[in-house]
Amino acid sequence: MRMTLRFATIATAAVSLTGATLATASATATAAPASLYAPSALVLTVSYPGGSIDTAARAVTLSCAPGASGTHPAPAAACAELRNAGGQFDSLLSQTPGQACMRLWSPVTITVDGVWQGTRTSWKHTFANSCEMNNTISQSSLLGF
């Protein structure tokens, strides 16, 4: 009788321990990340520097992971273009040949701030005027917002 009682106590402890281990394992498994994609969320602005403050004339948002979304007019094309450029915004700038602009200093600045593929990013480029900006970014889905 004593042997049976001792065996029953050991068996109950083993079942309890196994149940606690399974409960811990299942709690750990549900704590997995919600997404397998690194976040990519950006804010793009166009501003006209000068005076006492810089005022943003336009601003759009762009999110690329897991799907393209945001207030950008062409989020899917913009995300694809940025992926092809490897996240390098300078590589999206290209002068359109044959377009002549006046030599007028009326600066326009484009900024990009946010997170690209899990890494904080900030980029800024100032053009001499809006004509130069339009010629330089005319082929860009991302910057031509």
**Predicted confidence (pLDDT) per residue in 41-87, tens digit:** 999 999 988 755 667 789 999 999 888 999 999 999 999 999 999 98
10-19, 71-80, 85-94, 127-136: range with lowest mean pLDDT:
10-19
107 burial level (CB within 10 Å; 0-12, 13-18, 19+): middle
Amino acid 115: pLDDT? 93
Q: Domain 41-137 carries which CATH code? A: 3.30.350.10
pTM: 0.68
Mean pLDDT across the stretch 118-144?
88
How far is the C-alpha of 73 from the C-alpha of 64, rounded, in Å?
Answer: 13
Q: Longest C-alpha distance within the chain, in Å?
A: 104
